Structure 1
Amino acid sequence: MATFFTSDTHFGDHRVLNLYPRPYGSVAEMDADLIARWNAVVGAGDEIWHLGDFARTPRLAAELLPKLNGRKHLVAGNNDIGPDVAHGWETVQPYAEIEREGRRLVLCHYPFRSWNGQHRGSLNLHGHSHGRMKPLPRQFDVGVDVRDYAPVALEALLAARRPKAP
């Protein structure tokens, strides 16, 4: 079982196509591609943490969740209206602290300037900024706009920050 992270899918939301330069001609095209990319990465038994702004409406969220692989957890964002476990989430919360691969992770939709354990090696994973905010050390935007429109594994985040070998 692997663990993946994502954020800011904004399923069914036409506004995101006007606000951010996504490569889609329509909401239907965006939704279909995001579902395909999610399922190409996340297996049925994998765990996935969605860090907010999942879908435009709770009804759409309930329709989409069964189509997406993985055991799904939601850390709610500012555009998540009334999400609950009945819609297919294993858990729903505004904030989470978990440990994976020997790392303490602080998960929230919003990027922090300071977080629990920041100076003891914990990492802050977030969304909300759509790649428009310079990260602090040990801070990662996991939003689809900066992660090739797909969920990302912790190891891939850490590998991207490692210095390249000469």
Structure 2
Amino acid sequence: MAVFFTADTHWGHGGARGLFRRPFGSLAETDAAMIARWRDIVAPDDEVWHLGDVAVGLSPEKVAALIEALPGRKHLVPGNNDGPGVAALSCWASVSPYVELEQDGRLLVLCHYPLRSWRDMHRGAVNLHGHSHGRLAPLARQFDVGVDAREFRPVRLGDLMRPARCRAAVTFPA
């Protein structure tokens, strides 16, 4: 079983394409691409933590149908666009505005909003969040898992923690 994180899908939100400069030709194309990319990497027995802003402008019934059609066991950490109707849906394995969990020996602090400080941040704890749509400079061990920052798909912790590759080798004189 793999564990994935995502946020800010904003399914059904026509204005998201312009607001967040999403590179798709229409709302239908945007939503279809995110659904296809989710299905490409998430298996039925995987776990997905959605850190809020699931949909905008869709009824809770439509949100439930969409979430139930996606693979994985889904948890919700609600965002500012997730009303009580979405949070109350039975398609969520859990719903909480703030979650601490351990994965791979590391404390993860999950919240829709990026935190300025979090428990054990100086002891290696990681803050995963959404809300900023890839527009906020992160602190150390802080990652925006929103679709706009993650190729419109859920992401694994290992992919976030992997160091960026150097583009060129640097040599120093002896």
Aligned Cα root-mean-square deviation (Å): 1.5
Q: Work out the number of aligned pairs and report it.
A: 165
Deviations 1:32-59 (A, max 9, x none): 1110000111100000000000012323
Who is 1:71 aligned against? 73
- Segments of structure 2 that go 5 or more residues without pairing to the other structure are 170-174
Task: Mark the CA change 1:85 to 1:11 in structure 2 (over 3 Å): closer, same or farther.
Answer: same
Q: Note if contact 2:4-2:48 (Cα within 8 Å) is conserved in structure 1.
A: yes
Out of 59, 74, 88, the position equivalent to 2:91 is 88
Deviations 1:56-77 (A, max 9, x none): 2323211201111100000000
| TM-score normalised per structure 2 | 0.90
Q: Note if contact 1:35-1:67 (Cα within 8 Å) is conserved in structure 2.
A: no
User: Separation in 2 of the partners of 1:163 and 1:119?
Assistant: 24
Q: Percent identity?
A: 55
Who is 2:40 aligned against? 40
Q: Note if contact 2:53-2:82 (Cα within 8 Å) is conserved in structure 1.
A: yes
User: Separation in 1 of the partners of 2:13 and 2:62?
Assistant: 10
Larger Rg: 2
1:1-166 matched pairs, under 5 angstroms = 1-56=1-56, 57=58, 58-82=60-84, 83-84=86-87, 86-159=89-162, 161=163, 164=166, 166=169
Q: Note if contact 1:61-1:87 (Cα within 8 Å) is conserved in structure 2.
A: no
Per-residue deviation at 1:163? Answer: 5.9
- Segments of structure 1 that go 5 or more residues without pairing to the other structure are none
